[in-house]
A and B are shown apart, each in its own frame.
Chain A
């Protein structure tokens, strides 16, 4: 009986300290401590279904294989369409290297060669989806670009979340304001709302089905809704592995194979 009382006391202390820790954290600390790794960030290979949905709810589904490498030298991305048949074999290479102009190539199997394409995609649509290139890489709220204010906690997607209200500190930020729901126990966002300067909700990002990949939680279902256009893009992760990708992959030579 005495042991049971001691155990209850210990649990109460632990719980209180945990609540106290959660209550004490500032919005900026939560933002800085985000343990977020989107599926298309870091270095690795992923196979995914990419589903686009128009305002009438009509969907188009693509299967793609993506190789990624992101380090101090910059970001490299190699993407190959696996299905449907009308785009199968189309490949896309993007090099965003430090100190160099961004470069992109598109390989079209029907003509048997690559074409250089304009690299003005940052801030624009990623492969015709509702994601921008920065959003798909998870770089939508880089440290230093936003000030974070913490709002009252809420339950979102079945988990208790911190709620952050982010305000852009400079014009370089993609959005004027961002509202973010951060899973308290895992420090990962489960929902993000992007607002323009007038406070109008433009996009909503929902992340779920988190699974551990190489020690990090990676969402295996990612949905971006464009609230203005009424469109949605759904990413279903079929497989993902974090591994060092050879630089040879991110070359025109590999594109031609």
Chain B
């Protein structure tokens, strides 16, 4: 598959180079930043990252009706001595009468809410998005076509190449760790790290054919509101995982599969008086794990949700007449599949149950959050921004204040802080207080 994608990339590049009429003017961004974490135990500030990065974009209109886009990006962490260089987007979009289409690796971002979009089926977001504020999601290889009628549009998307959600350091950090009492033999109690190792081994859906992911969307306006109805059939962004416990000899292992899933979604946005409002809902879920034969002395425990569920977002924003204008945004987020931070629920273990601990499946409880964002332009060059996420069931959250200063010539600096708050041992607690200073130059 990788060879196929490489061939497609080369083909599009050759097409781009073969079009003499195109006058690509490179655009992009250079950025750098340093991060420090507050070590609460040692009570000292630790330097965690010095990262530089770039994004280079070549884009031009193709006469008479089209556009070609090529971008790639990379980063290098000077502290950890690691980096990445990757294709970002590569697509051609064209217009034919009432139909607009685009082919290639592209960002397909659906929905009407701001950042949390249950109906954005293709743009995968990693766990770090919550902390960085970059909620755009990842591009995917797909073909997309939209028919525009008089007062409606119909969009179809086919994504033949499956790309899973990235597992980043934040996700690993947030999975709860189990402290083993000395009398518990190793290998018996599941370890979160072993889950992530097992995920890497799971076979991905094949490209093209029956494993292709599909989505349809209809859009219209009603009473001044933008409305979207959508349907998606594809795969889970992370594999559904199960844990198998074997009693004799004691052992645990993890197995997973990318399960087919389908969703129906509705989204709406509009204005009520001077406020912008939106609502978005999706219902569906994965196909349940296949029933396995009972094997004496073994037990299978699902770590992923195994039934259909509901996701919903309702929100609004309003600009208060304070100084240059204070933008306030509030969103309520409901996740039937559980916590925003943990894609898997580890089993509940009772070490006091006897010489061998009792292990029961963890309960996947719906989770809901309040998300608030406040932005204020101190002057034309600088902005104060505050983002707060609070888990209503988890009784904790994170707060992210940031100050941005815009220098001339598209240079900007941002100083931000991420800190958790709430009751003891809430799921946000492992997030350390982190300060980051970043500078970017766009050209």
Interface residues of chain A, those whose CB is within 8 Å of chain B, are: 52, 54, 58, 60, 84-86, 88, 100-101, 103, 110-113, 115-120, 125, 128, 251-253, 256-257
Q: Which of A100, A111, A257 is B67 in contact with, Cβ under 8 Å?
A: A257
Which residues of B sit under 8 angstroms from A118, Cβ to Cβ? 271, 274-276, 317-319
* A103–B224 touching, CB < 8 Å: yes
For the complex formed, measure the closest distance between the CB of B152 and the CB atoms of chain A, giving whole angstroms: 11
Cα separation A112 to B106 with both chains bound (whole Å) = 9
Q: Which of B29, B136, B153, B224 is A100 in contact with, Cβ under 8 Å?
A: B224
Q: Mark B390-425, 1 if CB is under 8 A from A, else 0.
A: 000000000000000010111010000000000000
For the complex formed, measure the closest distance between the CB of A81 and the CB atoms of chain B, giving whole angstroms: 11
For the complex formed, measure the closest distance between the CB of B146 and the CB atoms of chain A, giving whole angstroms: 8
| A61 and chain B: residue at smallest CB distance | B408
Q: Which of A60, A117, A253 is B381 in contact with, Cβ under 8 Å?
A: A60
For the complex formed, measure the closest distance between the CB of A224 and the CB atoms of chain B, giving whole angstroms: 14
Given A101-B271, A116-B278, are A84 and B409 also a contact pair (CB < 8 Å)? yes
Which residues of B sit under 8 angstroms from A120, Cβ to Cβ? 271, 273-274, 319
Which residues of A sit under 8 angstroms from B381, Cβ to Cβ? 54, 58, 60
Cα separation A119 to B153 with both chains bound (whole Å) = 23
Given A100-B224, A116-B278, A257-B93, are A88 and B109 also a contact pair (CB < 8 Å)? no
Complex A-B: 29 CB contacts under 8 Å: A52-B380, A54-B381, A60-B406, A60-B408, A84-B409, A84-B442, A85-B27, A85-B410, A85-B443, A88-B27, A88-B442, A100-B224, A101-B224, A101-B271, A110-B136, A112-B106, A112-B109, A112-B136, A113-B109, A115-B112, A116-B271, A116-B276, A117-B276, A118-B274, A118-B318, A118-B319, A128-B380, A251-B148, A257-B67
For the complex formed, measure the closest distance between the CB of A99 and the CB atoms of chain B, giving whole angstroms: 11
Which residues of B sit under 8 angstroms from A252, Cβ to Cβ? 226
Asked if B135 is at the interface (CB within 8 A of a chain A CB), the reply is yes
Q: Which of B93, B136, B380, B409 has the most CB of A within 10 A?
A: B380
Q: Which of A58, A110, A116, A119 is B380 in contact with, Cβ under 8 Å?
A: A58
* A119–B109 touching, CB < 8 Å: no
* B269–A116 touching, CB < 8 Å: yes
Cα separation A120 to B273 with both chains bound (whole Å) = 8
Total contacting residues, chain B, CB less than 8 A: 46
Which residues of A sit under 8 angstroms from B153, Cβ to Cβ? 253
Given A116-B226, A257-B100, are A86 and B93 also a contact pair (CB < 8 Å)? no
Q: Mark B25-67, 1 if CB is under 8 A from A, else 0.
A: 0010100000000000000000000000000000000000001
Cα separation A100 to B225 with both chains bound (whole Å) = 12
Q: Which residues of B, 268-297, contact A by the 8 Å Cβ criterion? A: 269-271, 273-276, 278
Which residues of B sit under 8 angstroms from A86, Cβ to Cβ? 406, 410, 412, 442
Cα separation A84 to B135 with both chains bound (whole Å) = 23
Interface contacts beyond A60-B406, A85-B443, A86-B406: sample of 20 additional A-B pairs, CB < 8 Å, sorted by A: A54-B380, A60-B381, A84-B442, A86-B442, A88-B442, A101-B271, A103-B224, A103-B271, A111-B107, A111-B136, A112-B123, A112-B136, A113-B111, A115-B114, A115-B269, A117-B276, A118-B276, A120-B274, A256-B100, A257-B100
Interface residues of chain B, those whose CB is within 8 Å of chain A, are: 27, 29, 67, 93, 95, 100, 106-112, 114, 123, 135-137, 146, 148, 153, 224, 226, 269-271, 273-276, 278, 317-319, 325, 377, 379-381, 406, 408-410, 412, 442-443
Cα separation A52 to B226 with both chains bound (whole Å) = 33
* B442–A85 touching, CB < 8 Å: yes
For the complex formed, measure the closest distance between the CB of B386 and the CB atoms of chain A, giving whole angstroms: 20
Which residues of A sit under 8 angstroms from B325, Cβ to Cβ? 125
Cα separation A84 to B226 with both chains bound (whole Å) = 31
* B271–A257 touching, CB < 8 Å: no
* A84–B410 touching, CB < 8 Å: yes
Cα separation A54 to B379 with both chains bound (whole Å) = 8
Which residues of B sit under 8 angstroms from A88, Cβ to Cβ? 27, 442
Which residues of B sit under 8 angstroms from A113, Cβ to Cβ? 109-111
| A115 and chain B: residue at smallest CB distance | B114
Cα separation A252 to B112 with both chains bound (whole Å) = 13
Which residues of A sit under 8 angstroms from B318, Cβ to Cβ? 118
Cα separation A113 to B275 with both chains bound (whole Å) = 20
Cα separation A103 to B443 with both chains bound (whole Å) = 32
Which residues of A sit under 8 angstroms from B29, Cβ to Cβ? 85
Which residues of A sit under 8 angstroms from B148, Cβ to Cβ? 251, 253
| A108 and chain B: residue at smallest CB distance | B136
Cα separation A253 to B95 with both chains bound (whole Å) = 11
Which residues of B sit under 8 angstroms from A100, Cβ to Cβ? 224
Cα separation A252 to B110 with both chains bound (whole Å) = 14
Which residues of A sit under 8 angstroms from B114, Cβ to Cβ? 115
For the complex formed, measure the closest distance between the CB of B378 and the CB atoms of chain A, giving whole angstroms: 10
Cα separation A58 to B408 with both chains bound (whole Å) = 10
| A113 and chain B: residue at smallest CB distance | B109
* B95–A257 touching, CB < 8 Å: yes
For the complex formed, measure the closest distance between the CB of B402 and the CB atoms of chain A, giving whole angstroms: 16
| A116 and chain B: residue at smallest CB distance | B269
Which residues of B sit under 8 angstroms from A125, Cβ to Cβ? 325
| B66 and chain A: residue at smallest CB distance | A257
For the complex formed, measure the closest distance between the CB of B338 and the CB atoms of chain A, giving whole angstroms: 26
